[in-house]
Chain A
Amino acid sequence: MPYGEPDPQDPHALIGVTLPGDRESMREMAATFAEEFAALGFDEAQLLNLFRKPQNAGAHRAWSVLGEVEVRRIISEALEIWGRFRFVVRDAEPQPAGSQKRLVQIGDGPRLIGEDD
């Protein structure tokens, strides 16, 4: 299939279907990406880059359809909240020295130091 054209006789092939969607769903998609990545710590320049890059198909499509001005407005709306803070992860205190096993490669595969032979 990937090397040929869709077969119009195949009842399961997607030939042409109507997908409901409008400018609002595009705006909502852009807002979602802006919020999610702002919450992950992206700043304004990084977010704008996310939208400008054609490799990010969803975000770039929104940028093409809505335009840079609207995307900048969406970004600034998201950063108004999510740009003020950042989420910080702190790992729990490590276990006392010697209690954790260390991996080494011996023979056919990994074994644990301290394991009985």
Chain B
Amino acid sequence: MARVNNWHLGREMSYPYEARFPERQFAFVFNINRCIACQSCTMACKSTWTFSKGQEHMWWANVETKPYGGYPQSWDIKILHKLHEADPGGQYWDGVVSDERTGPYGQFEGKTIFEAAETTLDPESSRVVGYLPADEEWSSPNIYEDNPVGKKGVRDQLDKVGTELPVHDTWFFYLARICNHCSYPACLAACPRKAIYKRPEDGIVLLDQEQCRGYRKCVEACPYKKSMYRGNTRVSEKCIACYPRVEGTDPESDGVPMETRCMAACIGQIRLQGLAKLDEDGTWAEDRQNPLYYLVHEAKVALPLYPQLGTQPNGYYIPPRWVPKPYLEQMFGPGVERAVERYKFPDRELLCVLNLFRRDNRIIFRYEIEEGPKIYEGNYRGRPFTLYNDTVIAFGEDGRELFRTTVEEPLHVRTNVHANSI
């Protein structure tokens, strides 16, 4: 295997192919603190791309309840378990969390899904440690949570007396997921037909259905299980990142790069999607005024999902504040403590950037802040807190302003009827 640089892991790792990077990389940040699992993203994707016969089990975008939910069922537990078997006691992070652009989370000392394959799989053609979920594991986008199952043994009938959603006696949160359009895709690495490729212009990972023969190696290899097999066409399918929208070739986009359908449908305003500039070594080029760059590399409040798997995913998450840290560290790596602390008490700039989420369907390439006067100073939850009337301005690809957000004190106009009622 070739040696490639994985900045999430803070080190080089093995990968079946030499590293090749796009000019810009499709990337996104999801703020879990705001997700209420309304499933609008799930349905937006479903009604756009996977509504046909043979695609009934496919949810390219889904929202699952953590820690017990998953689509397919227990996908993360299963792959973590496999890596634990391949490297018992060795799956840990070392080093320190730093402000460096390369290796900001320390160094991962364990084995990735590619490295575990080198030592545990035979024959040599097996390039990735993974597993093929059974058909029934794909049956629910959020198992046991939003899928009332009805009476046992009675199919296709409503429950006459109603039923209750489960009551959780402990913490939980909602994890929205799509394909991470990884920098080192496991699906691409595993495909014996070389039917999967990464677009040089935006890093979107696509599957060429003309080339695919339905071996399901990609389904087996993708640790996030975002490559899916379609029985009636006998080829696999996956999220295409709504690439006509990202390109600006979708009729609705009017030539301007737009966010994907799942982003645009998000009523909780948890999502921000864009394109990150890359350096030659695959790290993010410094792009200080790009909101994604700011969230991932400056504020460092957005963290990759299961970075230890080794695919260098391009989906980042602002972790939920209330969840015990050990669980979050397993899911997002060692940067959790810093991310939660900064998000909980946001500074002036972070507060502005958080106000860019879901204000427009067009992709934001740059932002600027016009500083305004101090409008509040006080204590919040035992800490000093100051709020300024700053204006954050978002710009599109062509450098033109898209919109601006600012702070206003609500103005209540008393009606004539009550004009003198005080």
Q: Taking the complex as formed, is B387 at the interface, i.e. its CB lies under 8 A from any CB of chain A? A: yes
For B323, give its contact among A2, A25, A61, A90 (CB under 8 Å): A25
A31 and B147 in contact, given A19-B170, A58-B173, A90-B406 (Cβ under 8 angstroms): no
- Which of chain A's residues have a CB closer than 8 A to the CB of B173? 58
Q: Taking the complex as formed, is B140 at the interface, i.e. its CB lies under 8 A from any CB of chain A? A: yes
Q: How far is the CA of A84 from the CA of B152 in the complex (A)?
A: 51
Docked-complex contact B172 and A32, CB < 8 angstroms: no
For B359, give its contact among A19, A32, A89 (CB under 8 Å): A89
Docked-complex contact A92 and B403, CB < 8 angstroms: yes
Q: How far is the CA of A11 from the CA of B85 in the complex (A)?
A: 13
Given A2-B143, A19-B170, A90-B404, 4 new contacts (CB under 8 A): A2-B140, A2-B147, A21-B171, A81-B387
| 23 contacts across the A-B interface (CB closer than 8 A) | A1-B73, A1-B137, A1-B143, A2-B140, A11-B81, A14-B68, A19-B327, A20-B326, A21-B323, A31-B322, A32-B320, A77-B381, A81-B376, A81-B385, A86-B409, A87-B355, A87-B408, A88-B405, A88-B406, A91-B360, A91-B402, A110-B251, A112-B251
Q: Taking the complex as formed, is B254 at the interface, i.e. its CB lies under 8 A from any CB of chain A? A: yes
- Which of chain B's residues have a CB closer than 8 A to the CB of A13? 74
Contact with B along A89-110 (1 / 0, CB 8 A): 1111000000011010000001
A58 and B324 in contact, given A2-B139, A40-B269, A88-B406 (Cβ under 8 angstroms): no
Contact with A along B52-77 (1 / 0, CB 8 A): 00000000000000011000011001
Docked-complex contact A89 and B404, CB < 8 angstroms: yes
Report A12 CB to chain B, min CB distance, Å: 5
Residues of A1-39 contacting chain B, CB below 8 A? 1-3, 11-14, 19-21, 25-26, 28-29, 31-32, 36
Docked-complex contact B321 and A28, CB < 8 angstroms: yes
Interface-central residue, A1, A26, A56, by most chain B CB under 10 Å: A1
Q: How far is the CA of A1 from the CA of B73 in the complex (A)?
A: 9
For A3, give its contact among B68, B149, B378, B400 (CB under 8 Å): B149
For A57, give its contact among B73, B165, B378 (CB under 8 Å): B165
Q: How far is the CA of A84 from the CA of B411 in the complex (A)?
A: 11
- Which of chain A's residues have a CB closer than 8 A to the CB of B36? 56, 58
By a beta-carbon cutoff of 8 Å, the part of chain A in contact with chain B is: 1-3, 11-14, 19-21, 25-26, 28-29, 31-32, 36, 40, 54, 56-58, 61, 77, 80-81, 84-92, 100-101, 103, 110-112
Report A43 CB to chain B, min CB distance, Å: 10
A36 and B33 in contact, given A12-B77, A14-B74, A25-B323 (Cβ under 8 angstroms): yes
Q: Do most interface residues of chain B lie in helix, strand or loop, or is the interface mixed?
A: loop
Contact with A along B120-146 (1 / 0, CB 8 A): 000000000000000011011001110
Q: How far is the CA of A54 from the CA of B163 in the complex (A)?
A: 13
Docked-complex contact B139 and A87, CB < 8 angstroms: no
- Which of chain B's residues have a CB closer than 8 A to the CB of A103? 251-252
Report A67 CB to chain B, min CB distance, Å: 16
Docked-complex contact A111 and B74, CB < 8 angstroms: no
Docked-complex contact B405 and A1, CB < 8 angstroms: no
Q: How far is the CA of A85 from the CA of B376 in the complex (A)?
A: 10
Closest to B153 in A: A3
Docked-complex contact A87 and B405, CB < 8 angstroms: yes
Report A38 CB to chain B, min CB distance, Å: 12
Docked-complex contact B171 and A101, CB < 8 angstroms: no
Contact with A along B385-422 (1 / 0, CB 8 A): 10100000000000011111111111000000000000
Report A99 CB to chain B, min CB distance, Å: 10
Q: How far is the CA of A30 from the CA of B400 in the complex (A)?
A: 39
Docked-complex contact B149 and A85, CB < 8 angstroms: no
A86 and B408 in contact, given A19-B327, A81-B387, A103-B251 (Cβ under 8 angstroms): yes
Docked-complex contact A26 and B171, CB < 8 angstroms: yes
Docked-complex contact A29 and B322, CB < 8 angstroms: yes
Closest 7 CB pairs of A and B: A28-B322, A29-B322, A92-B401, A21-B171, A110-B251, A20-B324, A21-B170
